[in-house]
Amino acid sequence: MGGVHSSGVGDESNTGQSPSIGLWATDRGVSSEALADAYGLGIKESSVTVAAHNDRVNHGRSCNVDVGKYVGLDCEMVGVGQGGHESALARISLVDFHGRQIYDSYVKPRERVTDWRTAVSGVSQREMRFAREFEEVQREVYDIIEGRILVGHDIKHDLDALKLSHPPRDIRDTAKHHAFKKYGHGRKPSLRVLARELLAIEIQEGPHSSTEDARVTMLIFRKYKPSFDTEHANRYQQRTPPTTTRKSKKHRRKQ
């Protein structure tokens, strides 16, 4: 599902941590995620693999992964309604800051599927034999992402499909990042274009894999994390009066 090819281009952003900082952190039990966040660092070379051999499709929650502060999310949709023009959730994947699989599940759409979109979604009626109920998946995803920073590509559509909301200030969206607008030529850039232009890899050449897409999105975020951090600070910190501390709205399910 969703083959990935790399041209071997190096990390031009040069935002990885130095060896001395990395050794200091390792000796003191500090995670590389926390280190990157504290020092405004981006990706450490070779620390994220786009297509991992230990991915387990439809495995549910991965118990051996410490989720951390950041969660990458991607969904695959199928068509419902007349003509299959409306979208419904059929698969969801979550990865951590390092691209490790946190959660993966097929989802039984609550509506009658009129177009499986298998060539793109990679989902067919066969997978539904082992799919989880929508409410179960929604609850498990909610428990994972609540209170964390959510990283995705045009993530509004994924949250709408999940019937969940998330505080805007806790979202990092690669489709809306100002520095990437030039790749969309007036529209939102696709994840495939960003992967090619920013990472020099080709994705989505066959049926999509939500795990791979979530991992690529996280990889882009990590590589350009300082730019995301600056944009986020300019957008939100200036709006908050210096003498006032506001609690952001809690993540909630949509009714």
**Is 58 part of a structural domain of the chain?**
yes
Contact at 8 Å (CB) between 74 and 192? no
**Is 110 part of a structural domain of the chain?**
yes
Q: Indicate the helix (H) or strand (E) that contains 161.
A: helix 155-162
**Is 8 part of a structural domain of the chain?**
no
Q: Quickly tell me which residue has 């920073």 as its tokens.
A: 149
**Is 146 part of a structural domain of the chain?**
yes
**Is 28 part of a structural domain of the chain?**
no
What total number of domains does the chain contain? 1
| pLDDT (0 to 100) of residue 248 | 47
**Is 39 part of a structural domain of the chain?**
no
**Is 115 part of a structural domain of the chain?**
yes
Q: Can you give the residue range of the structural domain that contains 60?
A: 54-233
| pLDDT (0 to 100) of residue 27 | 53
Residue by residue, pLDDT tens for the chain (255 residues) are 445 444 433 343 444 444 444 444 445 555 556 556 555 555 554 444 565 557 899 999 999 899 999 999 999 999 999 999 999 999 999 999 999 999 999 999 999 999 999 999 999 999 999 999 999 999 999 999 999 999 999 999 999 999 999 999 999 999 999 999 999 988 999 999 999 999 999 988 778 899 999 999 999 999 999 999 999 999 998 665 544 334 444 555 665
| pLDDT (0 to 100) of residue 172 | 98
Q: What residues contact residue 61 under an 8 Å CB cut-off, 6+ apart?
A: 102, 103, 140, 144
| pLDDT (0 to 100) of residue 18 | 42
| pLDDT (0 to 100) of residue 204 | 84
**Is 148 part of a structural domain of the chain?**
yes
Rounded Cα distance between 34 and 173, Å, is: 20
Contact at 8 Å (CB) between 35 and 41? yes
Rounded to two decimals, what is the model's pTM?
A: 0.77
Amino acid at 234: N
CATH number at residue 119: 3.30.420.10
**Dihedral through CA 142, CA 148, CA 150, CA 151, nearest 10?**
-140
